[in-house]
């Protein structure tokens, strides 16, 4: 059977003629070259996407400078850069390099990972509500990570536990709607239920251990960048790097998965396989981010929402979501560190307090954004 | 633009399709004539949409097979199939804000790759698809701003851009008023004239008689009649399919069967 399949006529390769001018579609730049093997290659770059990403990138850099300069010991923004490279007063160098920079890196990485996981899951489910935070994956990861912190007889590192928890929650959610697919509210309702159960399990574990142990696990339950395990940050950095590459590989089929399954399938997307890959990617990114910062699921909702409101609907705004997520996380943690100083508000609470109402405004303002 | 390859043949071999325990299509053997418009008709729930999704490999057969040039489509890579067979599902929806030409460009997807994102061929085919569907003036309009008929033509243009010799349409006119229906049917005829094989599911027998070359009448997952409308449509067939009586006439302009005085069947 396989051999007869290859006998099918495939569309004839039409070599590009030099003389023919090829106009990029409106809103794109086209880059074309001839590969060493003589194939005509072409890339399309969406202008709006580039502009949005550049804008968000600049905003993120500004936010990072602000983040490094503000705090209990304020530095002039002009002193931040020298301090970053070890020049200037000892105390500034120490504050920037040892205290603020690691935390800033963790904020950027977790924000980017949560938002990328969010936009992937939303696209997969064709629903803006279907982020890992809402369908219980954050809570699953948290419950397992807390179990390891409070020592419920398991001694795996938090990232491994978070990964196991996220996978369990995802498997439960998808198992409960078996056959129903990832579309529609059934899936979301099942996810909310699974999340509620894991949330309760977390609380139950905390209620049963000594107060000191419970305190040690507290950052996990609200989402905080205060107690970040070093190895978890490293793992997240690697995971995010791999995840971004993987997301780019699935970007083209992903933009077709925004259509109905039948349409995507008709255009040659192996929907089932792609859906599984995207789901895995989203679950792993969420778990790695939870292992660092706990459940800051709101970023998975806000980041993609900002990205979508700025971007065109030609493609899924992966880069913009990632940058917006990092930006939100950095600003939220900055606010949490400085607003009520010396008391620190956990970043999970800041994103919920500021992000909640803001999200409502986004959802309720006159429609302009692209679902 | 005529697909360059000789028209492939799509046939089924004792095809059975089920939803869970319910068998919707049973041991069905059809052959779809190349370069013609075939309409699949039948009462609600007779399995016509299921048959179409089976033909497009959206629905895995319980037994039997759908053969494209004699090869079982289950064994074809998704992308290969997408260069041979295009499908327009019922009530297709697009991401908000997408323009007509953006939608049509998605039709080029099976021919593109990571390092082959926009070729001269892509450009030529998309321009042709816009022209064939009469949408040049609306190319940069968002889909939401179009009329129902224009929007449906844009979707068909996307499948034209896919450059497949076979085109499957599920109820392409179900939500359209008469004028918009005619727009779509004339486009379909135009495509068949240029060598495409079109298969469409229709719930309206009158339009099927008028616009199809070949009719497949389904009832309870079985074929009750197939052939040219003028040959197979009889008052008895209409009664079998829809439990209605009618007077059958011949359209003086086109020679196709016309249903008149349709009424509930007398017991």
Residue B236 neighbours by CB under 8 Å, 6+ apart: none
* Residue from the list B78, B106, B118 with its beta carbon closest to the beta carbon of A265: B78
Q: Does B95 touch chain A (CB under 8 A)?
A: yes
- pLDDT for the residue numbered A9: 39
Mean pLDDT by 10 residues, chain A (371 residues): 38 46 86 87 91 97 93 83 84 85 94 96 87 89 84 66 88 77 74 91 85 77 80 91 94 91 91 90 92 88 91 92 96 90 86 81 62 39
What's the predicted TM-score (pTM) here?
Answer: 0.88
**Contact A8/B8, CB-based, under 8 Å?**
yes
Mean pLDDT by 10 residues, chain B (267 residues): 62 88 86 92 90 91 90 90 92 89 94 87 92 91 91 93 93 87 91 92 91 93 91 91 89 86 82
**Contact A268/B71, CB-based, under 8 Å?**
no
CA dihedral A367→A356→A326→A124, nearest 10 degrees, is: -60
Residue of B13, B65, B76, B120 for testing the chain A interface, max A β-carbons within 10 Å: B120
Q: A-B interface: how many C-beta pairs under 8 angstroms?
A: 147
In a domain, B222, yes or no: yes
- pLDDT for the residue numbered A366: 64
CB-based contact A303:A325 (threshold 8 Å): yes
Q: Does B54 touch chain A (CB under 8 A)?
A: no
Domain of residue B55: give its range. Answer: 10-264
In a domain, A29, yes or no: no
**Contact B71/A371, CB-based, under 8 Å?**
no
**Contact A8/B80, CB-based, under 8 Å?**
yes
Cβ burial, residue A217 (10 Å; 0-12/13-18/19+) = buried
CB-based contact A165:A144 (threshold 8 Å): yes
Q: Which of B95, B104, B218 is nearest to A317 (CA)?
A: B95
**Contact B109/A42, CB-based, under 8 Å?**
no
Q: Does B21 touch chain A (CB under 8 A)?
A: no
In a domain, A10, yes or no: no
Q: Which residues of A touch B126 (CB under 8 A)?
A: 25
**Contact A313/B140, CB-based, under 8 Å?**
no
- Report helix, strand or coil for B69: coil
In a domain, A142, yes or no: yes
In a domain, B5, yes or no: no
In a domain, A35, yes or no: no
CA angle centred on B42, ends B41 and B45, rounded to 5°: 125
**Distance from C-alpha of A281 to C-alpha of A287, rounded to nearest angstrom:** 10
- Nearest chain B residue to A13 by CA distance is B121
* Residue from the list B71, B81, B96 with its beta carbon closest to the beta carbon of A4: B71
In a domain, A161, yes or no: yes
Q: Does B182 touch chain A (CB under 8 A)?
A: no
- Nearest chain A residue to B140 by CA distance is A26
Q: Which residues of A touch B110 (CB under 8 A)?
A: 267-268
Gap from B213 CA to chain A (nearest CA, Å)? 24
Domain of residue A305: give its range. Answer: 48-364
In a domain, B1, yes or no: no
In a domain, B81, yes or no: yes
Q: Residue A64 sits in a domain of what CATH number?
A: 1.10.3470.10
Gap from B234 CA to chain A (nearest CA, Å)? 35
CB-based contact A162:A129 (threshold 8 Å): no
Q: What are the phi and psi torsion angles at B263 (to 5°)?
A: -145, 165
Q: Which residues of A touch B116 (CB under 8 A)?
A: 39-42
Q: Residue B179 sits in a domain of what CATH number?
A: 3.40.50.300
Window 350-369 of A: residues touching B by CB (8 A cutoff) are 367, 369
Q: How many domains does chain B have?
A: 1
- pLDDT for the residue numbered B22: 85
**ipTM field:** 0.88
- Nearest chain B residue to A9 by CA distance is B5
**Contact A28/B118, CB-based, under 8 Å?**
yes
Q: How many domains does chain A have?
A: 1
Gap from A365 CA to chain B (nearest CA, Å)? 16
Residue B254 neighbours by CB under 8 Å, 6+ apart: B210
Q: Determine how β-strand B166-170 pairs with β-strand B31-32.
A: unpaired
**Distance from C-alpha of A83 to C-alpha of A69, rounded to nearest angstrom:** 10
- pLDDT for the residue numbered B263: 87
In a domain, A326, yes or no: yes
Percent of chain B with pLDDT over 70: 97
Helix H segments across chain B? Answer: 48-55, 78-84, 100-106, 120-132, 148-161, 178-193, 205-211, 229-232, 235-242
- pLDDT for the residue numbered A20: 56
In a domain, A184, yes or no: yes
Gap from A141 CA to chain B (nearest CA, Å)? 31
* Residue from the list A1, A268, A367 with its beta carbon closest to the beta carbon of B82: A268
Q: Which residues of B touch A24 (CB under 8 A)?
A: 118
In a domain, B65, yes or no: yes
Q: Which residues of A touch B117 (CB under 8 A)?
A: 30, 42-44
In a domain, A77, yes or no: yes
Q: Which residues of A touch B69 (CB under 8 A)?
A: 4, 7-8
- pLDDT for the residue numbered A77: 82
């Amino acid at each position: 059977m396989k051999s007869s399949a290859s006998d099918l006529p495939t569309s004839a390769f039409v070599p590009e003629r030099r003389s023919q001018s090829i106009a990029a579609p409106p809103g794109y730049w086209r880059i074309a070259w001839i590969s060493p093997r003589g194939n005509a290659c072409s890339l399309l770059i969406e202008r709006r996407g580039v502009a949005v990403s550049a804008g968000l990138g600049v905003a993120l850099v500004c936010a990072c400078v602000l983040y490094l300069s503000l705090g209990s010991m304020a530095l002039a923004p002009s002193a931040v850069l020298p301090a970053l490279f070890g020049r200037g007063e000892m105390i500034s160098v120490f504050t920037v390099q040892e205290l603020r920079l690691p935390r800033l890196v963790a904020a950027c990485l977790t924000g980017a990972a949560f938002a990328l996981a969010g936009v992937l899951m939303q696209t997969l489910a064709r629903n803006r509500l279907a982020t890992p935070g809402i369908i219980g994956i954050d809570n699953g990861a948290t419950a397992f990570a807390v179990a390891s912190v409070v020592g419920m007889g398991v001694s795996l590192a938090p990232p491994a536990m978070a990964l196991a928890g996220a996978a369990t929650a995802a498997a439960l959610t998808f198992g409960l709607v078996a056959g129903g697919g990832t579309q529609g509210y059934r899936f979301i309702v099942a996810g909310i239920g699974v999340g509620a159960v894991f949330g309760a399990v977390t609380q139950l574990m905390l209620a049963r251990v000594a107060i000191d142990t419970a305190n040690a696990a507290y950052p996990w339950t609200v989402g905080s960048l205060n107690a970040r395990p070093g190895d978890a940050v490293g793992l997240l950095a690697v995971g995010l790097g791999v995840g971004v590459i993987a997301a780019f590989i699935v970007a083209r089929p992903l933009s077709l998965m925004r259509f109905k399954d039948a349409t995507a399938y008709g255009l040659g997307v192996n929907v089932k396989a792609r859906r599984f890959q995207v789901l895995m990617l989203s679950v792993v990114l969420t778990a790695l981010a939870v292992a660092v910062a706990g459940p800051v699921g709101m970023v998975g909702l806000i980041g993609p929402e900002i990205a979508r409101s700025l971007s065109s609907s030609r493609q899924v705004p992966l880069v913009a979501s990632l940058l917006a997520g990092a930006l939100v996380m950095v600003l939220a943690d900055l606010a949490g560190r400085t607003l009520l100083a010396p008391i620190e508000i956990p970043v999970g609470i800041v994103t919920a307090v500021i992000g909640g109402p803001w999200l409502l405004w986004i959802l309720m303002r006159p429609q302009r954004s692209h679902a | 633009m005529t697909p360059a390859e000789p028209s492939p043949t799509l046939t089924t071999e004792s095809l059975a399709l089920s939803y869970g325990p319910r068998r919707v299509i049973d041991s069905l053997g059809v052959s779809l004539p190349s370069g013609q418009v075939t309409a699949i008709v039948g009462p609600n729930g007779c399995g016509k949409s299921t048959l179409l999704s089976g033909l497009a490999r959206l629905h895995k057969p319980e037994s039997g097979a759908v053969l494209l040039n004699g090869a079982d489509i289950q064994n074809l890579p998704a992308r290969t199939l997408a260069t041979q067979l295009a499908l327009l599902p019922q009530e297709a929806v697009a991401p908000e804000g997408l323009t007509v030409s953006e939608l049509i460009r998605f039709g080029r997807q099976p021919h593109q790759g990571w390092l082959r994102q926009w070729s001269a061929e892509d450009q030529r085919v998309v321009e042709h698809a816009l022209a064939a569907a009469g949408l040049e003036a609306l190319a940069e309009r968002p889909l939401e701003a179009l009329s129902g008929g224009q929007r449906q033509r844009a979707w068909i243009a996307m499948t034209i851009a896919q450059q497949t010799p076979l085109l499957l349409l599920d109820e392409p006119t179900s939500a359209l008023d008469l004028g918009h229906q005619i727009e779509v049917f004339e486009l379909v005829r135009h495509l068949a004239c240029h060598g495409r094989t079109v298969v469409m599911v229709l719930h309206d027998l009158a339009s099927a008689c008028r616009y199809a070359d070949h009719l497949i009448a389904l009832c309870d997952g079985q074929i009750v009649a197939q052939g040219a409308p003028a040959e197979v449509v009889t008052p008895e067939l209409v009664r079998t399919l829809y439990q209605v009586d009618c007077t059958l006439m011949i359209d003086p302009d086109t020679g196709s069967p016309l249903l008149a005085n349709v009424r509930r069947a007398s017991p």
